[in-house]
Amino acid sequence: MQLIKTAWKYGRFFLATYVMIIGIVLMAVGGSALANFLITVGIIFLVLDLTLGEDFNIYQYDNPNIFYPMQYASQLISVGTCLMFAWVLGVPNDFLGIAAVVQGLTGFDMIAAHANDTIGFYVACAIVAGLGAGIGSIGIGHELTHRKDMPFANFMGRLGQAFGMHTRFSIRHPYGHHNWICTPKDPAWARRGENFYPFAIRSIIGQNVQVWELETGRLKKMGKSIWSWENQVLRGWGMELIALSLFVIAAGWVGVIGFLAVGLFVNIGLELANYIEHYGLCRVPSEPQQVRHAWNDNHKMSYWGTVAISRHSHHHADADVEFWDLKPFPKEAPAMPFGYGLTGISCLIPPLWHTLMNPLLIKWDEEMASEEEKILAAKENILSGQSMLVNAANEYYDAHPDALIPQAA
């Protein structure tokens, strides 16, 4: 029994990896089982996120170093989901000889099993590959690319990100996002009243511009050419090109479409995370980040399913803390309205999102914001277009007549 408890304690952060393993098997088998599996997993996740409650415990791990090989294995499985998707798109070609190996070991004819694949099956495969690339980019990949003092960990993180068209994350996230979050300088900060859809477009474009500025600025300080081998943006694009090439080898132009679909899935997934994690929170740029500068979530399923990144407040207060050591901060940090999954779904419906978040923003302004942040929040409120926030701003300006009221654009 103790062995089972220990295995769960360490293995619970890799639930998505277990889903990917089953997904790879069902992609190989073909048929409707994959779609049914994904629907079932999605329902179970949301139901358990609602019913299991929250976890405010702080855990100690006797052997934390075991998390590193577990993360590396997860990255390889993430890549495996993408390669399996490429194989499916290329049938009757046998990309990498996968079908030959399976038939030799089990007698199962994969190519024959995929003779009548449907559009629905392709969509289900794309979702599994998108989940794999998403975990490889945003989940496990996010953790590994924070470890700049560990070159192999950083490489494994970027490997997962390459299949999600997302290697910029390894540069823009630690050196841009973590320095400028909750300020206008960060394109991944959602302003009050801003809907998700225009935010996602603005954020993706802004991040791509900013990562180039960050890297070229770094190289110029070193006296290096922006076209040198040391340009990590170019090297990341090279990794993405190699990943794309594998899809082309597997399935030609159909492979290109599949690769772009996976990349779109991952990029939208990241923008959902960016949107809900810092929506509307304000920070004085010269002041250090505190736990109040990120929306937090301690729901058990979210904690396990997101590799603990749902404890986002502590992550931003101290980015050097490993994911397994992140603390809950139930009182000091602002809480999301639901678990990670339902909060993400809510932001896809703007009227619902603003109804949920406007009272939480006002609560943050009144109970958590510093005096300087209250000034910034009032400015954001008056420009938000949300009547509840505008009224709150007017009350603030009535009480502080010397404050400058901004004019809407």
pLDDT, the chain, mean: 95
Q: Say if residues 188 and 148 touch (Cβ distance below 8 Å).
A: no
Q: How confident is the model at residue 221 (pLDDT cuts 50, 70, 90)?
A: very high
Give the pLDDT of residue 20.
Answer: 97
Pinpoint the alpha helices (H) of 286-370. Answer: 300-305, 312-317, 340-346, 350-367
Give the pLDDT of residue 236.
Answer: 96
For residue 318, give every residue at least 6 positions away whose Cβ sits within 8 Å of its Cβ, in sequence order, or none: none
Q: How confident is the model at residue 82 (pLDDT cuts 50, 70, 90)?
A: very high
> What is the mean predicted confidence (pLDDT) over 107-113?
96
> What is the mean predicted confidence (pLDDT) over 207-229?
95
> What is the mean predicted confidence (pLDDT) over 81-86?
98
Higher pLDDT, residue 91 or 137: 91
Would you list the domain boundaries of the chain? 2-356
For residue 328, give every residue at least 6 positions away whose Cβ sits within 8 Å of its Cβ, in sequence order, or none: 54, 55, 56, 57, 58, 296, 298, 311, 314
- 347-376 pLDDT, tens digit each: 999 999 999 999 999 999 999 999 999 999
DSSP β-bridge partners for residue 299? 54
Give the pLDDT of residue 400.
Answer: 87
Whole-angstrom distance, CA of residue 131 vs CA of residue 79:
11
> What is the mean predicted confidence (pLDDT) over 117-136?
95
- 323-356 pLDDT, tens digit each: 999 999 999 999 999 999 999 999 999 999 999 9
CA distances from 104 to 24, 98, 99, 100, 111 (A): 18, 10, 8, 6, 13
CA distances from 3 to 8, 10, 259, 304 (A): 9, 11, 40, 19
CA distances from 164 to 32, 160, 275, 287 (A): 25, 7, 19, 33
Higher pLDDT, residue 373 or 139: 373
Give the pLDDT of residue 407.
Answer: 62
Q: How confident is the model at residue 148 (pLDDT cuts 50, 70, 90)?
A: confident
Give the pLDDT of residue 406.
Answer: 64
- 168-184 pLDDT, tens digit each: 999 999 999 999 999 99
Give the pLDDT of residue 405.
Answer: 64
> What is the mean predicted confidence (pLDDT) over 98-104?
97
- 27-71 pLDDT, tens digit each: 999 999 999 999 999 999 999 999 999 999 999 999 999 999 999
Least confident of 80-89, 139-148, 288-297, 354-363: 139-148
Q: For residue 73, which of 13, 126, 130, 5 has the smallest C-alpha distance?
A: 13
Give the pLDDT of residue 408.
Answer: 54
